[in-house]
Amino acid sequence: MKIRPLGARVLIEPIEVKEQIKGGIYIPDSAKEKPQEGKVIAVGIKRDDDGKEIKFDVKVGDTVLMPKYGGTEIKLDDKTYQIVREEDLLGVIGE
């Protein structure tokens, strides 16, 4: 299924941090921190007050730093994604 965010929003696939168990202690999913890094999958269409299209600061394929508890989580084809406003993104990693 394809999806394109509306307005100045970005569709991000969170990058899961690999789980490390130290000392045999299991950390349940509910106690894990939400990933803050993600890969940009799609971008919407950003417009100025006059309706002219403006270029996004991020592009498809960029790895970005997301707010920890921002955006809207959605599930498509058994994958979890975040839809976040571009202005809420914290930065681009490794550009």
Q: 17 or 11: which carries more pLDDT confidence?
A: 11
User: Domains, the chain, ranges and CATH?
Assistant: 9-15+31-93 (2.30.33.40)
Give the contacts of 74 (CB within 8 A, at least 6 positions apart): 80, 81, 82, 83
Q: Is the pLDDT of residue 5 over 70?
A: yes
- Alpha-carbon span 48 to 69, nearest angstrom: 27
Q: What does the radius of gyration of the chain's CA atoms come to, in whole angstroms?
A: 15
Q: Nearest CA to 13 among 82, 89, 88, 93? A: 82
- Alpha-carbon span 14 to 58, nearest angstrom: 15
Amino acid type, 13:
E
The predicted-structure confidence for 33-62, as pLDDT tens digits, reads as follows 666 899 999 999 999 999 899 999 999 999
